[in-house]
Structure 1
Amino acid sequence: MMKKYTIENNYIKLVTIDYGAAIHQLITKDKNGNDVNVVISFEDLESYKHNPTYLGASVGRFAGRINKDGYTINGKHYSVYTKNDVHLHGGKEGFSFKTWKMESISEGENPSIKFSYSSNDMEEGYPGNLQVSVTYTIVENQLSIVFDATTDQDTIVNLTNHNYYNLSGEGSILDHELLINAESILTKDSDAIPTGKYTSVANTYFDFREKREIGSTYEFKGIDDTYVLKENNPLATIYSKKTGIEMVVTSNQPGVVIYTPETMDENKISNKPLGKYPSICFETEKFSDGPNQKDFPSTLLKKGDIYKNETYLTFNIK
């Protein structure tokens, strides 16, 4: 049975579940002192088991895409499960569809919760027994999401959290003001696999180097792209005038996948009403198909080394 855990302080309340080590709710105060759940949430916890959009989940062993031909480590080729010619978010049943172990939970001024998962050698086509954990910690008005992993064989790892944010708690994100510290996005083919090249954001609706409303300036057609980060601190800020909530995103990762679905199934969602483009994802990670692109940041985790993905969300009222 799925288990729910809550940690909170005076600024933030975080509700997590052990299935997918997922974030169910992330609640902070708006400019009027009212609680706002700033992530899209399923009403029924059972919906997280049938979660094709990876709502709130921890994604692995490899977040993003790998091409249908698989990849090679140390001269050995590995095949992977593909659907529509791509291997997505760790395969047929990646980490988002596993029950993680709740390792520890603490209350007090800086509450935290840690989940762990053991991924066996060759699970979903990945070599090595991988020990992975995610720790959520609240310090004042900041939530940190930290993934750690170790392996007993050389393998590839790319982990991320897949929250869908709406700082108004409902409606659309088209009126949110967004800044992204990136001058380019990854060029991709018809299967959304990176080609190894980069595309400038200049003179496109992907350009958020200056803060602006998401739906302004250009005809917005949605984003599902990897931004190549110029600055990690912050990599992005997003602000809702309606609630006065600003979220500042920082990370140690080289890229962030920005994803803005045009619609979501409101029947299963507690955030109502939802408008067109109801949410935005900030998937901090290394690049899709990294194992096959020699010029991309390495996604190889060697035996004995430690993988770490640190992301920080700071909430301010403006």
Structure 2
Amino acid sequence: MTTTEQRQGFTLVKLTGPDLKATFMDLGATLLSLEVRDKTGNWQDVVLGYESLEDYEKHQGYLGTVVGRTANRIRKGQFTLDGRQYQLPVNNGPNCNHGGVKGFSFRKFDVTSFTDDSVTFTIHSPAGEEGYPGTLDAAVTYRLEGPKLVIEYEAATDSQTLVNLTNHTYFNLDGHASSIGSHRLQLASDEFGHVDKDGLFTGTRQKVEGTAFDFRQPRYVRDALESGDPQIETATGLDHPFFLTRSQDAARLISDSTGIEMRVSTSLPACQIYSANYLGGQPGKDHLPMNRQTGICIETGYAPDDINIEKENSRTIVKKGEPWKAWTAFEFDTAYESK
């Protein structure tokens, strides 16, 4: 079932199924809440969010938003395409992050269609917006499929440009803002990427074996956060790209407290794992502060700064007549004990 409402100048859309209940907002095509049954049959909202809808305009946390045109950091906000250099806004240290000052996360999308189990948001980005070449039209569809939330992305341009869309939801399967270190994480990844002191992917890839980044088997997130690994210290936690070895069940997150398990599948080759290192106690749901490392983002996409690392071979380059498409699915184990 799908319902819509207007609240505080925003359009909200709620999808309700037997296994999941999800609420979205037009600003940033944001996932506001996602409710899942825990092991006792109670509904738990497993994503962090602000106390007030207006806070999504004020803060830079990107909670639940669609990030674009390009996710993550681009070195000095600069890239070259067709022999021409482009300059994006520098909004994160010396770099451009998450599409710029007024990226997709801070723009209202249009609610263009919905069904009993899906909603589609669209956005028009004119040539030159935030410094990007080419006009871009993008669509994001959220769909419930039983215990699964599927996100489908599409984008098309009238001139060569960059696209690397993702969703920036902070998950906490305990159902509230609490230490993410108590969650277990598993990743189908043999390699992770190094970052510098500004959080920029350097292009260096390292085997996870023998490091704090080895999540090939389920491990508590705190084991990495408390490891003292130089890369953990540099990023003040996890904020690194992992390169995936498969698309199905590429990531897995587990809460021992609620018994909820989430499995992530995607058509994209990498995911940025971010342990909410820069949340600073902003007011969240139920008036609880969202402190650092009280959530975790699994941002599927292409490698950060791919245009400057792979240059003309970057898969973030999109050409006229060649639409960009991708999908990511979050599937929950909703089996629970009878009361």
- The CA deviation at 1:207 is 1.3
In structure 2, list runs of 5 or more residues that go unmatched. Answer: 1-8
The correspondence for 1:232, drawn from 247, 258, 270, is: 247
Listed as ranges, the matches of 1:29-48 within 5 Å are: 29-48=37-56
**2:27 matched to which residue of 1?**
19
- 1:215 partner SS: helix
Question: In the aligned structure 1, how far is the partner of 2:306 from the partner of 2:274?
Answer: 19
Is 1:190 matched with 2:197? Answer: yes
Question: How far is 1:201 from its partner?
Answer: 1.9
Shift of 1:289: 1.0
Q: Give the corresponding residue for 1:101.
A: 110
CA contact (8 A) 2:251 2:264 kept: yes
Paired amino acid for 2:168: H
**What is aligned with 1:181?**
188
Distance in 1 (CA, whole Å) between partners of 2:30 and 2:132 is: 22
Could you tell me which residue of structure 2 aligns to residue 87 of structure 1?
96
The amino acid across from 1:188 in the alignment is: V
Residue pair 2:30, 2:66 contacting (<8 A) in 1 also: yes
CA separation in 1, counterparts of 2:156 and 2:331?
28
Distance 1:43 1:151, change over 3 A: same
- Which has the larger displacement, 124-133 or 171-180? 171-180
Cα gap change, 1:167 to 1:61, in 2 (>3 Å): same
2:294 aligned to 278, 287, 291, which one?
278
Whether the aligned pair in 2 keeps the contact of 1:159 and 1:285 (CA below 8 Å) is yes
Alignment of 1:257 with 2:266, yes or no, is: no
Could you report, residue by residue, the CA deviation over 1:120-142 in whole angstroms, capped at 9, with x for unpaired residues? 00101111110001000001100
1:50 paired to 2:66: no
1:245-272 Cα shifts (integer Å, max 9, x gaps): 1000000111100000246344520154
* Sequence identity percentage: 35
- Distance in 1, Cα, partners of 2:289 & 2:320: 48
Deviation at 1:193, TM superposition (A): 2.4
1:197 CA drift (Å) = 2.1
Name the aligned partner's letter for residue 101 of structure 1. Answer: D
Are 1:294 and 2:310 matched, yes or no? yes
- After TM superposition, the structure 1 stretch with the greater mean CA deviation from structure 2, 175-184 or 185-194, is 185-194
Q: Tell me the equivalent position of 1:74.
A: 82
Q: For residues 82 and 224 of structure 2, what CA distance do their matches in structure 1 show?
A: 48
How far off is 1:8 after superposition?
1.1
Give the residue type in structure 2 aligned to 1:286.
Y
Task: Return the letter of the residue paired with 2:112.
Answer: E
* Distance change in 2, residues 1:31/1:273 (3 Å): farther
Q: Which residue matches 1:210?
A: 217
- Which residues of 2 match residues 303-318 of structure 1 at below 5 A? 303-317=320-334
Question: Of the candidates 131, 137, 155, which is equivalent to residue 137 of structure 2?
Answer: 131
Deviation at 1:188, TM superposition (A): 2.6
After superposition, give the CA deviation of every residue in 1:140-195 in whole Å (9 maximum; x if it has no partner).
10000111100000101010000000001122221111101111111233333223
Q: Aligned partners of 2:224 and 2:240: how far apart in 1?
A: 19
Of residues 94, 110, 114, the one that matches 2:120 is 114
- The equivalent position to 1:244 in structure 2, one of 259, 262, 279, is 259
Shift of 1:96: 0.4
> What residue number does 1:143 align with?
149
Shift of 1:48: 0.8
CA distance in 1, matches of 2:26, 2:77: 33
Whole-Å Cα distance in 2 between the matches of residues 44 and 273 of structure 1?
Answer: 13
Instruction: Find out whether 1:165 has 2:171 as its counterpart.
Output: yes
Alignment length (residue pairs): 315
Structure 1 residue 92: Cα displacement: 1.0
User: Per-residue deviation at 1:51?
Assistant: 2.6
- Could you list the per-position Cα deviations for residues 223-281 of structure 1 after superposition, in whole angstroms to 9, with x for gaps in the alignment? 00001111221110011111111000000111100000246344520154767621000
Of the structure 1 ranges 273-282 and 12-21, higher mean CA displacement relative to structure 2 is found in 273-282
Structure 1 residue aligned with 2:4: none
The separation in 1 between residues aligned to 2:212 and 2:58, in whole angstroms, is 33
Q: Check conservation: 2:170, 2:276, Cα contact below 8 A.
A: no
1:223 alignment partner in structure 2: 238
TM-score computed with the length of structure 2 as normaliser: 0.88
**In the superposition, relative to structure 1, how do residues 106 and 125 fare at CA in structure 2: closer, same or farther (>3 Å)?**
same
